[in-house]
Amino acid sequence: MSGCPFSGKEYQFKITYSTTEEEDDSQRGIDKAAKGGLIYGKYLQLDKILNAQALESEKRHSKSHDEHLFIVTHQAYELWFKQVLWELDSVRELFIQNHVPDERNMLKVVSRIHRITVILKLLVNQFAVLETMTPLDFFDFREYLFPASGFQSLQFRLLEIKVGVADNRRVPYNRQHYRENFHGQESEDLLRSEQEPSLLQLVEKWLERTPGLEEDGFNFWGKLQANIEEGFKLKMQKLEKEPDSERKEDMLQDLKKQREGFTSLFDSNHHDDLLRKGERRLSYKGLQGALMIYFYREELQFQIPFQLLNSLMEVDTLMNKWRYHHVCMVHRMIGSKAGTGGSSGYHYLRSTIGDRYKVFVDLFNLTTYLVPRDWVPKIEPQH
Amino acid sequence: MSGCPFSGKEYQFKITYSTTEEENDSQRDIDNAAKGGLIYGEYLQLDKILNAQVLESEKRHNKSHDEHLFIVTHQAYELWFKQVLWELDSVRELFIQNHLQDERNMLKVVSRIHRITVILKLLVDQFAVLETMTPLDFFDFREYLFPASGFQSLQFRLLEIKVGVADNRRVPYNRQHYRENFHGQESEDLLRSEQEPSLLQLVEKWLERTPGLEEDGFNFWGKLQANIEEGFKLKMQKLEKEPDSERKEDMLQDLKKQREGFTSLFDSNHHDDLLRKGERRLSYKGLQGALMIYFYREELQFQIPFQLLNSLMEVDTLMNKWRYHHVCMVHRMIGSKVGTGGSSGYLYLRSTIGDRYKVFVDLFNLATYLVPRDWVPKIEPQH
């Protein structure tokens, strides 16, 4: 900045404000911009941002008013995708540089993942703007868009990869790998990001390090298994004592089923099986770490980790909601017509909704294994 | 586009889809994009949009993570401002070219003003994203922003002017005209837009043309005044017949006050007075047109005009909510510190909230003059 005496931190502390005459107070101050220096429009490079809207329909002398909305909406989405990637990469970096053992960085991690959820929420709400375009008005310029398609959105794919969407769970598109939509530098960017650790993989390693999992230490898993077996045994015994009845039979069946469910939880082969199928994503030890954080969330060292797990599930939920809103809008806009990228449009998009693309699916499913508080292994008080 | 046989409208009608095997459906078709042609990233000029984020803190070797969010948020706002101006100018143009005589254009007008309100709603929600930045993190890079300021946002001013914010009602800023923040082409753009008819002025002319106002025709105003006088006379007489009591006295006072209010409604000098002070914005005849649309909103020719009046009030309300959200956030971010543009920051912004910047203030205030349905002059049925 220039020799302006009023720039810099010291300025704020010299002037005091009286609040008795508000009209005058709102007048106080000097017009700094007149003295030269950073300008709003230049700082934000608005010459680029606001000169990037060229209507295809106009190029073809058939200007469609609504095409401007179509362009601006997509540009806004891509701007926010860039911001989400900025936050996501910074969090991944903190994990990669092993800065997370320094628990002071956990606040940053949780705040930034939470920020991602706030942006995703906005992006879900943003569909309402494009939905003010009628299918009839869209039809007027859609033909000029072929073959451009959202399949060519590099940032959307980077987002999926860096969060941890499983390549082998993707819905095949035209029997091709999604990466074949990209060429040159973009294709390289995608390849490189696939080789770097995703948020899922980094969180998994972090979960495996959860204090208390050590078998020769607190041995959370061993203690939990013992408590659950004991708990079911007592429940069974109590139920057996009841006079025979149809209700008692039903309740015994339910109890047996529950116990079987828990038995499978402690079966590491069963877990590996589901891992191979892609129905689970976390390692067995990672799963244990997550369940431990759930049960001991009120302990000081687990409070922020617990918030992180909730925010990660929120990311999955919002990505899914985004996909769903997108599908609803596409169906309204083009019915059963083919997409501009050549896919079946609506049908393809609909198949991407659900657990296939859910990255932190295990965190959701862990609630299957919640137990009464008194079954949770007790922590000896520290002195 | 190329010789691709699958581009263009004819494509959609040749292929039929069976919905029995959804997996096959989503696999269908040729990858159009591989044949060359418009690409998503080029269509949206993402090379411009996504390469416009340069952190001042980074230039000064003191990179602040949150500055990226600050930049992207403002760029998203400016993108949407551009879209709002696109819609606004198209509506103004329809009025200016006198295309509103063709009532078929009314659907377009109402849809586009409604679209503006949907965008403004998103822009109000968008504050939540920037609010994930803490004042402490903002403090780390704020010093590098001086003297750039939102006062230099050309589009924001254009938006205010084109909707119809009154120049003489603006809160003076540093005892200067707001236009002095701009130079060269931008200053000319502002001057020109001030000279063009605003939405308010165009709507006013349109309201003055409301069928039924003609004094030698239906004479809505004359009939309304007569009905109201008769209505109050009957109410007074009925009340006088009641046995004397304190409640009767209170009710008589209320009735007299109401009648005085209506008397002032029919006093055109009183209206001109308020017009001069800036407390009313519409001409007397425009006001009459608006009240007529309110009372006869269920008539076929007034249904869409009624929707338009509601949407115009929604625009004012949302602009005000935007200002309020902005103020709340600024207060949290910088407390009582001075703004980067040199104004008193929070105190200045707070003074811009309320009726001063409300353009369609008269539409709101007309609710003061609603009367019982049977006082509304009856329309003879048409054959």
Cβ-based burial of B194 (10 A; exposed 0-12, middle 13-18, buried ≥19) = middle
Contact residues on chain B for A75, CB-CB shorter than 8 A? 44-46, 49, 79
* DSSP helix/strand/coil, A141: helix
**Interface membership of B13 toward A (CB under 8 Å):** no
Contact status, residue A255 vs residue A249, Cβ threshold 8 Å: no
Contact status, residue B206 vs residue B315, Cβ threshold 8 Å: no
**Interface membership of B35 toward A (CB under 8 Å):** yes
Whole-angstrom distance, CA of residue B349 vs CA of residue B322: 11
The pLDDT of residue B172 is: 80
Instruction: Give residues with Cβ within 8 angstroms of A350, minimum separation 6.
Output: A327, B22, B26
List, as ranges, residues 286-325 from B with C-beta within 8 Å of A. Answer: none
**Cβ atoms < 10 Å from Cβ of B65:** 17
Whole-angstrom distance, CA of residue B279 vs CA of residue A283: 68
Minimal Cβ distance to B344: which of A28, A33, A337: A28
At A48, which amino acid appears? K
Contact status, residue B339 vs residue B348, Cβ threshold 8 Å: yes
The tens digit of pLDDT for each residue in B161-175 reads 999 999 988 998 777
- Which domains does chain A possess? 63-173+194-382 (1.20.58.480)
Whole-angstrom distance, CA of residue B228 vs CA of residue B222: 10
Chain A interface mutation, best of B14, B70, B71, B82, highest count of A Cβ atoms under 10 Å: B82
- Please give the span between the terminal C-alpha atoms of chain A, in angstroms, as a whole number: 55
Q: Which helix (H) or strand (E) holds A6?
A: none
Cis peptide before A211 (omega within 30 of 0): no
Contact residues on chain B for A74, CB-CB shorter than 8 A? 44
Which residue in B130, B80, B75, B97 sits closest to B329, CA to CA? B130
**Interface membership of B60 toward A (CB under 8 Å):** no
Contact residues on chain A for B17, CB-CB shorter than 8 A? 336, 344, 347
Chain B interface mutation, best of A16, A28, A59, A114, highest count of B Cβ atoms under 10 Å: A28
The mean pLDDT of chain B is 89
Can you read off the two tokens belonging to residue A124?
């879900």
Contact status, residue B29 vs residue A141, Cβ threshold 8 Å: no
Whole-angstrom distance, CA of residue A275 vs CA of residue A200: 14
The pLDDT of residue B343 is: 76
The pLDDT of residue A320 is: 96
A339 Cα to chain B: minimum distance (Å): 10
The pLDDT of residue A262 is: 93
Which residue in A107, A318, A83, A73 sits closest to B129, CA to CA? A83
Whole-angstrom distance, CA of residue A178 vs CA of residue B272: 67
The pLDDT of residue A29 is: 52
Q: What percent of chain B has pLDDT over 70?
A: 89
Instruction: Give residues with Cβ within 8 angstroms of A111, minimum separation 6.
Output: B132
Q: Tell me how long chain B is.
A: 383
Instruction: Give residues with Cβ within 8 angstroms of A39, minimum separation 6.
Output: A33, B148, B152
Phi, psi values for residue A220, rounded to 5°: -50, -45
Which residue in A123, A95, A302, A126 sits closest to A200, CA to CA? A95
**Interface membership of B52 toward A (CB under 8 Å):** yes
Chain B interface mutation, best of A1, A12, A14, A26, highest count of B Cβ atoms under 10 Å: A26
Minimal Cβ distance to A68: which of B52, B83, B149: B83
Q: Categorize the per-residue pLDDT at B177 as very low, low, confident or very high, splitting at 50, 70 and 90.
A: confident
Q: Where are the alpha helices (DSSP H) in chain B?
A: 10-14, 22-25, 40-43, 46-49, 56-59, 67-96, 106-125, 127-130, 135-142, 154-163, 184-195, 199-208, 220-240, 246-265, 268-277, 284-295, 300-334, 346-350, 361-365
Chain B interface mutation, best of A157, A344, A351, highest count of B Cβ atoms under 10 Å: A344
Contact status, residue B158 vs residue B185, Cβ threshold 8 Å: no
Q: What angle do CA B159, A122, B65 make, to 5 degrees?
A: 90
Least confident of B170-184, B259-273, B282-296: B170-184
Minimal Cβ distance to B147: which of A37, A115, A118: A37
Contact residues on chain B for A146, CB-CB shorter than 8 A? 1, 4, 6-8, 32, 37-38
Answer yes or no: do B28 and A338 touch at CB < 8 A. Answer: yes
Minimal Cβ distance to A72: which of B51, B82, B114: B82
Contact status, residue B342 vs residue A4, Cβ threshold 8 Å: no
| Sign of the C-alpha dihedral computed for residues A28, A34, A38 and A44 taken in this order | positive
What's the number of CA atoms in the CB half-sphere (13 Å) around residue A312?
26
- Give DSSP secondary structure letters for B290-340: HHHHHHTTTSHHHHHHHHHHHHHHHHHHHHHHHHHHHHHHHHHHHTTPPPT
Chain A interface mutation, best of B44, B90, B92, B94, highest count of A Cβ atoms under 10 Å: B44
Contact status, residue B197 vs residue B91, Cβ threshold 8 Å: no
Q: Which residue has the tokens 């009314």?
A: B106
**Interface membership of B153 toward A (CB under 8 Å):** yes
- Whether this model's pTM surpasses 0.80: yes
Q: Which helix (H) or strand (E) holds B34?
A: none
Is the pLDDT at B147 greater than 80? The verdict is yes
Contact status, residue B81 vs residue B278, Cβ threshold 8 Å: no
A198 Cα to chain B: minimum distance (Å): 20
**Interface membership of A72 toward B (CB under 8 Å):** yes
The tens digit of pLDDT for each residue in B30-48 reads 444 445 689 999 999 999 9
**Cβ atoms < 10 Å from Cβ of A199:** 22
Contact residues on chain B for A347, CB-CB shorter than 8 A? 17, 19, 22, 25-26
Cross-strand bridge partners of residue A176: A173
**Interface membership of A337 toward B (CB under 8 Å):** yes
| Sign of the C-alpha dihedral computed for residues B180, B182, B188 and B190 taken in this order | negative
**Interface membership of B350 toward A (CB under 8 Å):** yes
Cβ-based burial of B340 (10 A; exposed 0-12, middle 13-18, buried ≥19) = buried
The pLDDT of residue B35 is: 52
* DSSP helix/strand/coil, A278: coil
Q: Which residue of B has its CA nearest to A4?
A: B147
The pLDDT of residue B347 is: 87
A187 Cα to chain B: minimum distance (Å): 13
Three-state SS annotation for A71-99: HHHHHHHHHHHHHHHHHHHHHHHHHHCCC
Of residues A284 and B337, more confidently modeled: A284
* DSSP helix/strand/coil, B20: coil
Can you read off the two tokens belonging to residue A185?
């530098």
Q: Which residue of A has its CA nearest to B173?
A: A27
List, as ranges, residues 176-235 from B with C-beta within 8 Å of A. Answer: 176, 180-181, 186
Can you tell me the mean pLDDT for B170-195?
A: 90
Contact status, residue B311 vs residue B107, Cβ threshold 8 Å: no
Whole-angstrom distance, CA of residue B234 vs CA of residue B109: 42
The pLDDT of residue B39 is: 95
Least confident of A335-339, A341-345, B131-135, B318-322: A341-345
The tens digit of pLDDT for each residue in B201-223 reads 999 999 999 999 999 999 999 99
Can you read off the two tokens belonging to residue B321?
């909510």
Contact status, residue B281 vs residue B268, Cβ threshold 8 Å: no
Answer yes or no: do B26 and A342 touch at CB < 8 A. Answer: no
* DSSP helix/strand/coil, A133: coil
Answer yes or no: do A75 and B46 touch at CB < 8 A. Answer: yes
Contact residues on chain A for B31, CB-CB shorter than 8 A? 174, 176, 180-181, 341-342
The tens digit of pLDDT for each residue in B351-383 reads 999 899 999 999 999 999 999 999 999 987 754
* DSSP helix/strand/coil, A197: coil
- Give DSSP secondary structure letters for B253-273: HHHHHHHHHHHHHT-HHHHHH
Contact residues on chain B for A40, CB-CB shorter than 8 A? 148-153
Q: Which helix (H) or strand (E) holds A305?
A: helix A300-334
Chain A interface mutation, best of B14, B73, B83, highest count of A Cβ atoms under 10 Å: B83
Indicate whether this complex's ipTM tops 0.90: no
**Interface membership of B147 toward A (CB under 8 Å):** yes
Minimal Cβ distance to B122: which of A11, A54, A125: A125
Phi, psi values for residue B334, rounded to 5°: -125, 5
Answer yes or no: do A147 and B35 touch at CB < 8 A. Answer: yes
Whole-angstrom distance, CA of residue A134 vs CA of residue A329: 10
Is the pLDDT at B235 greater than 50? The verdict is yes
Q: Which residues of chain A fall below pLDDT 70?
A: 1-36, 99-100, 382-383
A82 Cα to chain B: minimum distance (Å): 7
Contact residues on chain A for B115, CB-CB shorter than 8 A? 69, 129, 132
The pLDDT of residue B10 is: 40
- Please give the span between the terminal C-alpha atoms of chain B, in angstroms, as a whole number: 55
